C-alpha cells in the first residue's frame, strides 16, 4: 500500500514508518520538524518537510500517486502546555487535522488512522478502561483529541472514508534504531533513564499519597513497536472502529523506578513533589477489543522488556538524535 504518515519524524510515527517499510509498504512522511528529527525518518521513506495542513503540498502528494491510507500522528502532545496555551492545541490538533482530513476526502483516500489518547477519558470511572467508558477530558490536549475523533466519525459517516481511532496509553521503549527523544522530555521512562545515565540529578515523583498500593500513580505502558503493529493491523482490517491500545496491566511510578534500577544497575535519586492537577491515580486500558477484532497482542508485555529496549537505545544514542 501507499501510506502517508504525518508526524513521521516523531517518536511513534518514525517507528511505524520503519515497520511499514519492513512490511513492504511505500511510505511518504510529512513533518514540519517542529518536534521531530529528520534522521529518525527511515531512509526508504520520502520525507516532505512541510506542515500537515499545507494544502498545496498535500494536493501534490495526492496527485503524484494513489495514497491508500493516511496515518495521522502529527500533533502537539504536552498536557501542561495545552493548559497554558490551548489556542496552539486547537490550531494544530483540530484545525490542522481537519484541513488534512478535508484533503483526504477530496482525494478519495480510503483509510484514515488517527493517533488518539487515553487523555480523552479524563478521570475514568472504572479500571481497566474499556472503549465504552465516558470520554470526559480534563485538559485541552485531551479535548482536542476528542474533538478530532468526533469529526472523523461524522466524516466517515457522510463521506465514506474508513477510519481507525487508536487511543494509546503511555508509549515507551525503542527499536534497534529508533527511540524516544522529546525536548523537553516529560515521559517517565526516558526521564528515569536520563537519571540512570547521569544526565539528570533527580527524578520528581508527582505525589506519593495516592490510593494505590505504594502511593504513586499507576499507568499502562505500551511498547512503541506494539503500537506500530496495531496501525498496520488497523489499516489492513478494512473496518471503521476505535480501539484502546495499552498493555492491560499497570505499573506504579515506584515499580518503574525499581525495574529501571535493576536493568541499569544504577540507583535513581528521587524527590517527592506535590500531586499534579488532573492526574488520576490509575490509568490502565483494556485491550480486549483490539485483541478480539484485530488479533493484536502486545509482544512487549512486561515493563522489564520495555525499559530494556529503551535503555539499549539510550546507551547507543546518549545525545538522542542530535
Ligand X SMILES: NC(=O)c1ccc[n+]([C@@H]2O[C@H](COP(=O)([O-])OP(=O)(O)OC[C@H]3O[C@@H](n4cnc5c(N)ncnc54)[C@H](O)[C@@H]3O)[C@@H](O)[C@H]2O)c1
List of residues contacting ligand X (CB under 6 A): 6-7, 9-13, 30-36, 51-53, 73-75, 77, 92, 96, 115, 117, 168, 170-171, 182
Cell 488497523 sits on residue: 234
Select 130 or 215, whichever has its Cβ closest to ligand X: 130
Q: How far is the CB of 13 from ligand X (least distance, A)?
A: 6
Helix (H) or strand (E) run with residue 206 in it: strand 203-206
H-type alpha helices, 128-185: 140-159
Rounded to an integer, what distance in angstroms lies between the CA atom of residue 50 and that of residue 46?
12
Select 86 or 215, whichever has its Cβ closest to ligand X: 86
In terms of Cβ atoms closer than 10 Å to its own Cβ (0-12, 13-18, 19+), residue 252 is buried
Nearest alpha carbon to residue 219 among 196, 241, 186: 186
Q: How far is the CB of 46 from ligand X (least distance, A)?
A: 15
Catalytic residue list contains 141: yes
Q: Distances in Å between the alpha carbon of 52 and those of 6, 7, 32, 62, 182?
A: 6, 8, 7, 13, 19
Q: Distances in Å between the alpha carbon of 164 and those of 33, 113, 209, 236?
A: 25, 5, 37, 11
Q: How far is the CB of 96 from ligand X (least distance, A)?
A: 5
Contacts for 224 with CB less than 8 Å, ≥ 6 apart:
11, 12, 15, 171, 172, 173, 174, 175, 178, 180
Q: How far is the CB of 29 from ligand X (least distance, A)?
A: 9
Rounded to an integer, what distance in angstroms lies between the CA atom of residue 216 and that of residue 211?
8
Select 23 or 99, whichever has its Cβ closest to ligand X: 99
Nearest alpha carbon to residue 192 among 316, 314, 35: 314
Catalytic residue among 11, 89, 121, 141: 141
Q: How far is the CB of 108 from ligand X (least distance, A)?
A: 22
Q: Which segments within 77-181 are labelled E, that is strand?
A: 111-117, 162-168, 170-172
Q: How far is the CB of 209 from ligand X (least distance, A)?
A: 25
Neighbours of 39 (CB within 10 A): 13
Rounded to an integer, what distance in angstroms lies between the CA atom of residue 3 and that of residue 193?
33
Select 147 or 209, whichever has its Cβ closest to ligand X: 147
Select 44 or 274, whichever has its Cβ closest to ligand X: 44
Contacts for 302 with CB less than 8 Å, ≥ 6 apart:
none
Select 30 or 205, whichever has its Cβ closest to ligand X: 30
**Catalytic residue numbers?**
141
Amino acid at each position: 500500500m501507499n501510506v502517508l504518515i504525518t508526524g513521521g519524524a516523531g517518536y511513534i510515527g518514525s517507528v511505524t514508518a520503519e515497520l511499514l517499510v519492513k512490511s513492504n509498504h511505500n511510505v511518504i512522511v510529512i513533518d514540519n520538524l517542529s518536534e521531530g528529527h529528520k534522521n529518525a525518518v527511515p531512509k526508504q521513506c520520502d520525507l516532505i518537510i512541510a506542515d500537515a495542513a499545507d494544502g498545496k503540498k498535500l494536493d501534490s502528494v495526492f496527485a503524484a500517486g494513489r495514497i491508500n491510507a493516511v496515518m495521522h500522528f502529527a500533533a502537539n502532545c504536552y498536557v501542561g502546555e495545552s493548559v497554558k496555551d490551548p489556542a496552539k492545541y486547537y490550531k494544530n490538533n483540530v484545525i490542522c487535522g481537519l484541513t488534512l482530513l478535508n484533503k483526504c476526502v477530496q482525494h478519495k483516500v480510503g483509510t484514515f488512522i488517527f493517533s488518539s489518547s487515553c487523555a480523552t477519558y479524563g478521570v475514568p470511572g472504572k479500571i481497566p478502561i474499556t472503549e465504552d467508558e465516558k470520554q470526559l477530558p480534563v485538559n485541552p490536549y485531551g479535548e482536542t483529541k476528542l474533538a478530532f475523533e468526533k469529526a472523523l466519525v461524522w466524516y466517515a459517516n457522510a463521506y465514506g472514508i474508513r477510519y481507525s481511532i487508536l487511543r494509546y496509553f503511555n508509549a515507551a521503549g525503542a527499536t534497534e534504531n529508533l527511540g524516544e527523544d522529546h525536548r523537553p522530555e516529560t515521559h517517565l521512562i526516558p526521564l528515569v533513564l536520563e537519571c540512570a545515565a547521569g544526565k539528570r540529578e533527580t527524578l520528581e515523583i508527582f505525589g506519593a499519597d495516592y490510593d494505590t498500593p505504594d502511593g504513586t500513580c499507576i499507568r499502562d505502558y505500551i511498547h512503541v513497536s506494539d503500537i506500530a503493529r496495531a496501525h498496520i493491523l488497523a489499516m489492513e482490517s478494512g473496518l471503521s472502529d476505535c480501539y484502546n491500545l495499552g498493555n492491560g496491566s499497570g505499573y506504579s511510578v515506584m515499580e518503574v523506578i525499581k525495574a529501571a534500577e535493576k536493568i541499569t544497575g544504577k540507583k535513581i535519586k528521587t524527590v517527592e513533589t506535590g500531586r499534579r492537577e488532573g492526574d488520576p491515580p490509575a490509568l490502565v486500558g483494556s485491550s480486549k477489543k483490539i485483541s478480539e477484532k484485530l488479533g493484536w497482542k502486545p509482544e512487549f508485555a512486561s515493563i522489564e522488556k520495555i525499559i530494556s529496549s529503551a535503555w539499549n537505545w539510550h546507551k547507543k544514542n546518549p545525545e538522542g538524535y542530535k
